[in-house]
Structure 1
């Protein structure tokens, strides 16, 4: 399941891997959580598999009848979905939460891109899963340390690499730069002024290199939705400017645009990893480096370049250590170079077919998640306490009375 376009692309890649292993995957979009209503072109760009739609409540019921379920949502929604499927009565009543009958499915969670912010928090939201697909060795070390400190099962962590990528990257291309692709992000830079500055520099680059084709690829059309909503679109920027004739805005699928490019520019888009995997040269734009731009973790890549460098074709090559971190195939069992998606499917199917204890149960029963569920239950009481000027003790007492009345009923 996925709630946004890049999530659907990730889910579809896993679905292909499950199908190749003999399973029967079904792709679904929830219709009752935001963002929803992906356009037909967004769906077609993500997958050629059939995609069904269902409410959250319907997906919870369907998940309980599945052998495995992969909620490709943001961290809080992954946690909510697993809780609802687990069914201890603590989920959203509208989702039909209740005690699940029969065995639970194998829960799989992952990251649709590089984990560039809220890294530990994002892992903890996904730590109820039986399989947590880990994209890099750096992530694995950080998540493993968090699991050890909090008493969570580290066996759920599966180092595999980003499921959108192959096991190893293609050799880097060389030769002249004739076509350049800039992959835009809806909220990077965060301000409209910051975004306009980057686009202005891209236009200046195109003007300085009239013999090159320069493509600005927006994350989505103004009428479409994705996980991050853009307020200021490239079209709005372009409407007030006379752009170089060799610069165009293009909404074609990213894979085809990368294939046709000699150089990919971005601030911090995961599309850069797809370009590196394809052997295309990449530069992370370093004119804005801050937490809001999500690029401090990319300093180790060796690919940060200011536009002055890019204008002069001073393009770097990936740092070997960083490349091994992002493509961790060398740390994984030698099995003919299985793709990251295939590794995820293999692990999930192993848990389905074996009597091996499920990490989900150990995580669910851990003191960390037990307290987390209690805290989440008390949160509405705390909110009401603030609104009604009740003390937390009186608010908690009211919650206890309601629970006892429910038990009596």
Structure 2
């Protein structure tokens, strides 16, 4: 089975290389698409650590090269491991080939809530990979609502390694030797909420001199991530240090693969992040901050009843727990029977036999969507708003 993967950012590259490394008897090639959020060399190294692509060069290609690469490799499957607009362009290019491959996509972590917009960008796909029973249900519903006729596959997140439901490897009543905070670009959004998190970390650092505190950054200043971050924790920490907030000078910034931070004696704090799932997987005490609530906008709704939630006051006190076994079994830690490999083989067989559906009508709809997206990037905002007023006034 031959799979070619295209990514545009650090998080998607990590997911793609982890996923492909977990599939037996697969010949695969991995590419990065040249784009504004392209990862740096350091981010590429971190994303591919522990995979078959560690220490290997990842080619960066233009979108115009995609069709040739797919055809030259004679790919059975194209993995669109990228943001929606890039996937849409990739799949249009692949669909125009005389012998089109199967087209699959997915998200590089927790995929909830499922969105109509994301599904529409992937309208040409044959299959979508999900990572929990809840995700299967939501994406099946969104597939029907958006009339995107794709198969929904269930697979474990490839960075989760535990054979079954993980158990805590430390006494959660003990004070962590290292408290690691895993930020996200999108949540929480406000500066005040982000500052409150850093202040809680500073309180822990000030009260627990024998422990260390690290904000595990996703990127260095000037580097890009999949999503734009409005208020950087780097800037917030510098500001609190300037104010001489007790403990702020004791907080360090960490860079590199997350695995290097999920070690015995560590505990993880986050708002909503796939990092929490990786910490659960390693048996590391973990706290999902509850002060801002649990809802779709915060991307943390699945964690609400996990048993691993806590307040910023508990963060400051170092009181970090662990999720219940029942929650883990229902959320991302189901048993993996190798079903994804089987499903992909069937798709590859259909592609080689020319039995995949012809979605030319959907392809032209996709092209119109992409043209509108491109126009929005070059058209002045007042012109767009005027057009929208005229459109909705009809």
Superposition pairs of residues 185-334 of structure 1, within 5 angstroms: 185-240=184-239, 241=241, 242=244, 244=247, 246-289=250-293, 291-327=296-332, 329-330=334-335
Q: In the alignment, which residue of structure 2 is the partner of 1:81? A: 90
Q: In the alignment, which residue of structure 1 is the partner of 2:156? A: 161
Displacement after TM superposition at 1:329 (Å): 2.8
- Contact 2:165–2:329 (8 Å) recurs in 1: no
Count of residues in correspondence between the two structures = 361
- Aligned pair in 2 of structure 1 residues 318, 212: CA closer, same or farther (>3 Å)? same
CA deviation profile, 1:183-214 (whole Å, cap 9, x unmatched):
11223221223212211111112112222121
Distance in 1, Cα, partners of 2:261 & 2:147: 45
Find the residue that maps to 1:210 and give its secondary structure.
coil
CA deviation profile, 1:314-339 (whole Å, cap 9, x unmatched):
43331344312323534x6xx4xx4x
- Aligned pair in 2 of structure 1 residues 27, 131: CA closer, same or farther (>3 Å)? same
Gaps of 5+ in 1: 88-99, 393-409
- Aligned pair in 2 of structure 1 residues 80, 261: CA closer, same or farther (>3 Å)? farther
Distance in 2, Cα, partners of 1:256 & 1:53: 27
Displacement after TM superposition at 1:123 (Å): 3.6
CA deviation profile, 1:91-126 (whole Å, cap 9, x unmatched):
xxxxxxxxx22x211212111011234534434433
Distance in 1, Cα, partners of 2:351 & 2:31: 28
Pick the structure with greater CA Rg. 1
Gaps of 5+ in 2: 1-5, 49-53
The two structures have a TM-score, normalised by structure 1, of 0.77
Q: In the alignment, which residue of structure 2 is the partner of 1:111? A: 107
Tell me if 1:376 matches 2:377. no
Find the residue that maps to 1:70 and give its secondary structure.
strand
Tell me if 1:72 matches 2:81. yes
- Contact 2:112–2:135 (8 Å) recurs in 1: no
The two structures have a TM-score, normalised by structure 2, of 0.80
Find the residue that maps to 1:51 and give its secondary structure.
coil
CA deviation profile, 1:71-98 (whole Å, cap 9, x unmatched):
11123332332122212xxxxxxxxxxx
- Aligned pair in 2 of structure 1 residues 319, 123: CA closer, same or farther (>3 Å)? farther
Displacement after TM superposition at 1:349 (Å): 2.9
- Contact 1:35–1:226 (8 Å) recurs in 2: yes
Find the residue that maps to 2:234 and give its secondary structure.
helix
Q: CA RMSD for the aligned pairs?
A: 3.3
Q: In the alignment, which residue of structure 2 is the partner of 1:57? A: 64
Displacement after TM superposition at 1:347 (Å): 2.6
- Contact 1:282–1:303 (8 Å) recurs in 2: yes
Q: In the alignment, which residue of structure 2 is the partner of 1:35? A: 37
Find the residue that maps to 1:180 and give its secondary structure.
strand
Displacement after TM superposition at 1:130 (Å): 2.4
